[in-house]
Chains A and B, each alone.
Chain A
Amino acid sequence: MRPRSITGPVILIAIGCFFLFRNVWPDIRVYEFFSMYWPFLLIGWGVVRLIEILVWYATGKPLPGRGVSGGEWSLVVLLCVFGTFFFWGSKWSPSWPSRQIRVGGLEIFGEPFEFPMSAEKPAGKTPRVVVEMGRGNAKIIGGDTESVRVSGRKTIRSFDKRGAEQSNVDTPLEIVAVGEQLIIRTNQDKLSDTQRASVELEITVPKGAKLESRGRYGDFDIRDLLGDVEINSDNAGVRVQNIGGNLRVDLKKSDIIRAIGVKGAVELRGRGHDVELESIDGTVTVTGGYTGEILFRNIAKPLRFEGERTQFRVEKASGFARMASGNLTLDNVQGPIQVTAKSRDVQVRSFSGSLDMKVDRGDVEIRPSSLNPGRIDAQISNGDVDLVLPQGAKYDIDAVTARGDLRNDFGVPLRQDREGKGGSVRGTTGVGPQIRVKTGRGAVSVRRVGSESPANILPKTLPKAPEVPARVEQ
């Protein structure tokens, strides 16, 4: 009997696992995961074939002339092409401390050579400043000056000093006035791909400046400006503090965006890992794919979050809205509130105003405050609902589960009925807004504040925001 390879079935199993994984943990970005880890598929495949051949050999079965057939090779090439494509497409990588490893005491990219940089140009009181840089970090601070001052250093990796000096000459630091704009340019794009220069800039601009920065890879740290700030980058960490105007951040990828104290509107787009916005006086709009810990605190105007699988909006957040690891918590927020989530546990606590909620899969906790009660409408396809009402709240309650347990700790005014596998808790506690809660599958409980079990009291203190890792070397 000619042995048959097990590769086919193994690949089928792998594809099955892939989609299972996607459905079970939808939060993990599978395509980015694939783009990062596809080489292990290749390794696994090779190992399977190797073991298979060794087993055939050990059992004395005839061996194939070639271990990997032409058809398989073309699949491998396809995999490599797609994998590389995805990898460069998403440019996603887990937070490695640095892309630089020391081997035998020598730098992989040659030795670093450092060159100081500085430039200055008068700018007036309210200039428009554009920063165009490649790889590197920039710290931009508004001050009581009427000129733009740049200082810092450039690090060039090279095998010899001569090459480094040439590269330094090729990438001059310029401040150019183009019409109204003042452009600060580091010219790193003039180097070829094999050379690498990164900059560390400290830029002082007049307080009233409007700022626009474009970078490729590196962090922006911007402070104390009265004008608008706009940041575009392929990959950046952004820290912004004390901005008088609007803030717009558009990143292909980021590992942190933190903004504290913005008077105008904040708009974030793109993809990123952690987001922290605090004390924003304008509206906040966040669109795109963000993972990790997302925290909004003290937002004075409407907050809108449009993620790929989770969307919510609140009219105002005196407290916070936090999204992390399959969880969305809104605490001390003001309605009208809207929440749509595909797969996420949702807690809405101490809120006022109305609440509209739609959750596909996930447990839900609804805990209105006694102030300004509003209409509540929650539709859950699959998950438990825990409705905790304040003492003396007046509502017209209709909580239904199609399949699952019922619990009524509220007491007498509410009536509990079993209907088939599900049931309902209905009743009126006084003349007040309506509560419509419905779950397709899961337990429904209606409780009064104070009657909850201690296990359900979650700590209200927030975890500290993670330290921003220093990204670019040195």
Chain B
Amino acid sequence: MNGTNNLSLMRAIRGPVMMITIGTLFALDHMSAFSFSRTWPVILIVIGLMKLLERAFPAPAQS
């Protein structure tokens, strides 16, 4: 039960975390030299980290 809950938590925060990431990158683009064309790999890293975290919680046993 706990594993399921953790997993669904990870899935649920995926969207918000992406949103914050994208927002931060655009903010950097607008007000610093870090233009979006340079910082986009951060999105890859964040997606990878989120996936990795999801893996850290075992998928619940299913029928």
A interface residues (Cβ-Cβ under 8 A, vs B): 36-47, 49-50, 53-54, 57, 63-69, 72-73, 76, 80, 83-84, 87, 93-94, 96, 99-101, 108-109
Contact = CB atoms under 8 A, between A and B. Distances in A.
B32 interface: yes
B41 interface: no
B34 A83 contact: no
Contact of B31 (A42, A68, A96): A96
Nearest to B32: A101
B50 to A, nearest CB: 11
Contacts of B21: 46
Given A41-B23, A43-B23, A63-B9, A36 B30 contact: yes
A44 B19 CA distance: 9
B15 A73 contact: yes
B16 A67 contact: yes
A99 B12 contact: no
A46 B19 contact: yes
A111 to B, nearest CB: 15
A92 to B, nearest CB: 10
Nearest to A83: B26
Nearest to A50: B16
Given A93-B31, A94-B31, A46 B11 contact: no
Nearest to A96: B31
A40 B19 contact: no
A332 to B, nearest CB: 41
Closest 4 CB pairs of A and B: A68-B15, A42-B23, A46-B19, A67-B15
A67 B11 contact: yes
A40 B23 contact: yes
Nearest to B38: A108
B49 interface: no
Contact of A63 (B12, B22, B23): B12
A67 B38 contact: no
B16 A101 contact: no
Contacts of B15: 46, 49, 66-69, 72-73
A145 B11 CA distance: 74
A53 B21 CA distance: 17
Interface centre among A44, A49, A65 (most CB of B within 10 A): A49
Contacts of A40: 23, 27
A42 B20 contact: yes
A108 B30 contact: no
A53 B12 contact: yes
B11 A66 contact: yes
Contacts of A80: 22, 26
Contacts of A94: 31
6 contacts: A39-B22, A39-B30, A42-B20, A53-B9, A63-B11, A67-B15
B33 A108 contact: yes
A67 B13 contact: yes
B14 A66 contact: yes
Contacts of A38: 26
A336 B35 CA distance: 51
Max chain A C-beta neighbours (<10 A), residue from B9, B15, B25: B15
A94 B19 CA distance: 25
Quick one: which of B11, B20, B24, B30 has the most chain A CB within 10 A? B30
B12 to A, nearest CB: 4
Given A67-B14, A108-B33, A76 B19 contact: yes
Given A63-B8, A63-B9, A76 B34 contact: no
